[in-house]
Structure 1
Amino acid sequence: MTEHDSWYHSSIPPQKTRSTLQGEHRVDVCVVGGGFTGVSAALELAKAGRTVSLIEAEHVGWGCSGRNGGQINPGLAADQAALEKQLGAEQARELWQLSLAGVELLRKRVAEYAIECELKQGILLVANKPRHVPELKAWQASLEELGYDQLAFHDRDSLQGLLNADYQAGVMDMGGGDLHPLKYVLGLALAAEEHGATLFEHSPVLSYQQDSTGVTVHTDQGHVRADHLLLAGNAYIGQLLPWHQRRFMPIGSYVGATAPLGELADQLIPSRAAVCDMNTLIDYYRLSADGRLLFGGRASARDARPEALRQTMRQRMTQVFPALAQADFEYLWGGQVAMTASKAPHFGRLGDRVFFTQGYSGQGVALAGLAGKLMADAVMGQQQGFDLFARLKHRPVPQGTALQTAIRALALLWYGIRDAR
């Protein structure tokens, strides 16, 4: 299962070819990773007049940034109460405000750079079971206490006007929304280049060395000497971060796209809002601009066998929308999402010149772009936002692929049992 199985990839015109990194280069900042985080950082730095080289192992948008469900969520995946326990109420509120700034940053960039990425407003959080309804109301109340006024509660009956599916209740968040993520990240990349950043593709970074005067980054055909290095590979960072600094485990996440549904699309989701449910192993879905249902979910501890995955995903889609019992996916794709134990992102430094961010835990569409901006700000001496995220503590992950897989499998089994209750 590759990116070429993705409807996103098939729905865009052929893209420009970027050079591989060859020879010697000297810049202010080197960025590793061509997803939301890295491209966002490169754009901010180039706008500020810094010289920037971005190095991507595949091509821009190859990883999760170009394959995800496209849902835009204010906030972090971690509960606000958990953030308050770590940081106190005031600084947890600051994190919430930063997350809103991340959503606003996304919208501002779409407008400023005229990025045609099918941006829409509105996301529904829906309660699968009666026990979820009090949790949903408490979640709404907690955000309204923070001054957030974009939420509207819908009971089982009124929800039907927004979503023709069997849920107990829902909250519409007009501060969220959805977009075509690959078109968005490619648009950001063009904007970064317009401001002077240089983007290299098909150039895996093999190693780097940091010393008192800078950082040297090596590929197999060249190297970059920079004052600072930003590591933005997230789930695909490989060996560039020391094991004890990763603080996340990669989890498989998958999306299927039906054929265009015609009039049925608006019958299924009259609001055309993106939707996410409240199970631990969530279903999330939305309509594309051409009326396809993009249905995602089913986290996996290992790469799923395509046919077994197709059957599972179709079953889950049919449970939500019985009218699609005979429908199949024209496209089915997936990739790795970096999940931390706390579901909060992990920001950090290696020495004085290397910054990294990772572990957006499924909410990276807006949050990863914010992370890139905060890394860029930190390089330019404005470190408050980066340092606030860096204060969050994260439990280490077990070393070794086999052990990780076993732990993930047990966790997913437990979550599946819990969701069935």
Structure 2
Amino acid sequence: MASYYAASAHPAPQRPKLSGKETADVCIVGAGFTGMSAALELAEKGFNVIVLEAERVGFGASGRNGGQLVNGYSRSLGHIGRHYGEEAERNCGEMALEGATIIRDRIDRFGIECDFAEGGVVAALNERHMRSLREQTEEWHRHGHTSVHMVDRDGIRAHVGSDQYVGGMVDPYGGHFHPLNFLLGEARAFEAMSGRIFESSRVTGVSQGQKPIVKTEDGEVQADHVLLCGNAYLGNAVPKLTQQIMPVSSQVIATEPLGSELAQQLLPTRHCIEDSRFVLDYFRLSADNRLLYGGGTVYGARDIASITGRIRPGMLKTFPQLADVKIDYAWSGNFALTMTRIPQIGRLSDNVLFSHGDSGHGVTTTQMLGRRLAEAVDGDPAKFDTLAAFPYLPFIGGRLFRVPATVLGSWYYSLRDKLGI
């Protein structure tokens, strides 16, 4: 993928393809955020771990996303409480900042150079958005995250040099980074603990049993436990899981370097920004002062004719002063959506576990969910079971009609955004 991240990635070795038979305590499918988070946790506990990756480390969403640390889930804590009960809200609230903490800790402990920067803002375009953000701020405060605070129109101008926004919610514990370089740093740390990664090793099937076997085209791994972390890129290796999620693509463009003066005008505090619309835009500055601007959700993850043509108009509406700025990179990537927008974590059997469906909030939640998987393997499944208890709901229309049904719903909410109701 010809992304800005790939072009600015740290050197990484070409890892071998799986050939023949291997054994391990744990075999993890997918070298993305979830898989590598679990792999590191398990390696630190002394487990013999093999990670299988169909392409290269970070090929999927983990190496292509907006790089924004947005705390919480795709549904608010209040929504979780209203639909799943007070205990579910409390448990999710206790884990809501854990992913961001894991990221900070690993950057420090393993010396990962990934351009990490503090702070995030959720921007409001109308008063309805402001009411929703006030509710979310109160929810965060109830759960102890009291540094989150609201700002008005003047206050948000301190963070975003745009006239679009009427205010917003600032989260000092948010942030942003180079996601691919972070993941490559995790992979190096894992291998330094004797962990093994096989690339170009697409999984073709998983045989369950007392010693499950993970099969690829040229080899297989027999393990005590298997963790399925392929998310939207798992393919048809485990059809039951593929049916539970819908791949959705998001597009990102990166400008040429803007220079420090213009960059300071656009984002004075260098916080990352996402807006409050149902189909949202998100943007931030890179370390070399490019504006990375994303959005353009496409359900079913089909290709579009022009990524730049889809994203650039939104960027210019936010920052008209960039009309003559060159776009150096444009790319897309798929994330996995669940019907409830709540991540799904669970078991296919006692020793085959999975996690997927972060629904657009994967940067932080994947780190936390990887830890939950590792805890379950290590004999401490309490928090894993708490999250696994969330109900699975199939997409309306089944696999055949789930995309058009979801698009209709998206149109409805997008219309509400445009009308401000």
**Bin for the TM-score computed over the shorter chain:** over 0.9
1:314, 1:328 within 8 Å by CA — same for their partners in 2?
no
Match of 2:187 in 1: 189
Question: 1:15, CA displacement in angstroms?
Answer: 1.9
- Aligned partner of 1:132 among 125, 129, 134: 129
What's the % identity of the aligned pairs? 38
Q: Give the Cα separation in 2 of the matches to 1:18 and 1:189.
A: 11
- Aligned partner of 2:385 among 381, 387, 390: 387
Match of 2:79 in 1: 82
Matched, 1:251 2:222: no
Q: Secondary structure at the match of 2:93?
A: helix
Q: What RMSD over aligned residues (CA atoms) do the two structures have, in Å?
A: 1.5
1:76, 1:96 within 8 Å by CA — same for their partners in 2?
no
Question: 1:397, CA displacement in angstroms?
Answer: 2.6
Question: 1:400, CA displacement in angstroms?
Answer: 6.6
Matched, 1:214 2:211: yes
Q: Secondary structure at the match of 1:270?
A: coil
Question: Counterparts in 2 of 1:139-154, with a 5 A limit?
Answer: 139-154=136-151
1:31, 1:53 within 8 Å by CA — same for their partners in 2?
yes
Q: 1:86 to 1:379 in 2, by over 3 A?
A: farther
Q: Work out the number of aligned pairs and report it.
A: 416
2:10, 2:181 within 8 Å by CA — same for their partners in 1?
no
- Aligned partner of 1:24 among 8, 16, 21: 21
For residues 306-334 of structure 1, what are the alpha-carbon distances to aligned partners after superposition, in whole Å with 9 as ceiling and x for unaligned? Answer: 42x32221110011111112224210001
Q: Give the Cα separation in 1 of the matches to 2:144 and 2:45.
A: 32
**Unpaired runs of at least 5, structure 1:** none
Match of 1:38 in 2: 35
1:244, 1:396 within 8 Å by CA — same for their partners in 2?
no
For residues 17-51 of structure 1, what are the alpha-carbon distances to aligned partners after superposition, in whole Å with 9 as ceiling and x for unaligned? Answer: 10000111111110000100111111111111111
Match of 1:56 in 2: 53
1:206, 1:219 within 8 Å by CA — same for their partners in 2?
yes
- Aligned partner of 1:202 among 183, 200, 203: 200
Q: Secondary structure at the match of 1:240?
A: coil
- Aligned partner of 1:229 among 220, 226, 229: 226
1:243, 1:399 within 8 Å by CA — same for their partners in 2?
no
Per mean C-alpha deviation after superposition, the further-off stretch among 215-224 and 240-249 is 240-249
Matched, 1:360 2:361: no
For residues 233-290 of structure 1, what are the alpha-carbon distances to aligned partners after superposition, in whole Å with 9 as ceiling and x for unaligned? Answer: 0111122333367422111101110001111011011011000100000000000000
Match of 2:265 in 1: 267
Match of 1:285 in 2: 283
Q: Give the Cα separation in 1 of the matches to 2:379 and 2:15.
A: 31
Q: Give the Cα separation in 1 of the matches to 2:52 and 2:37.
A: 13
- Aligned partner of 1:338 among 336, 339, 356: 336
Q: Give the Cα separation in 1 of the matches to 2:83 and 2:413.
A: 25
- Aligned partner of 2:405 among 407, 413, 416: 407
Q: Under a length normalisation based on structure 1, what TM-score does the superposition of the two structures give?
A: 0.95
Q: Give the Cα separation in 2 of the matches to 1:293 and 1:282.
A: 16
Match of 1:305 in 2: 304
1:86, 1:392 within 8 Å by CA — same for their partners in 2?
no
After the TM superposition, which segments of 4 or more aligned residues of structure 1 sit over 6 Å from their partners?
A: none
Per mean C-alpha deviation after superposition, the further-off stretch among 38-47 and 236-245 is 236-245
Q: Secondary structure at the match of 1:378?
A: helix
1:300, 1:412 within 8 Å by CA — same for their partners in 2?
no
Question: Counterparts in 2 of 1:86-105, with a 5 A limit?
Answer: 86-105=83-102
- Aligned partner of 1:276 among 274, 277, 280: 274
Per mean C-alpha deviation after superposition, the further-off stretch among 76-85 and 369-378 is 76-85
2:257, 2:288 within 8 Å by CA — same for their partners in 1?
yes
Per mean C-alpha deviation after superposition, the further-off stretch among 163-172 and 238-247 is 238-247
Q: Under a length normalisation based on structure 2, what TM-score does the superposition of the two structures give?
A: 0.95
**Unpaired runs of at least 5, structure 2:** none
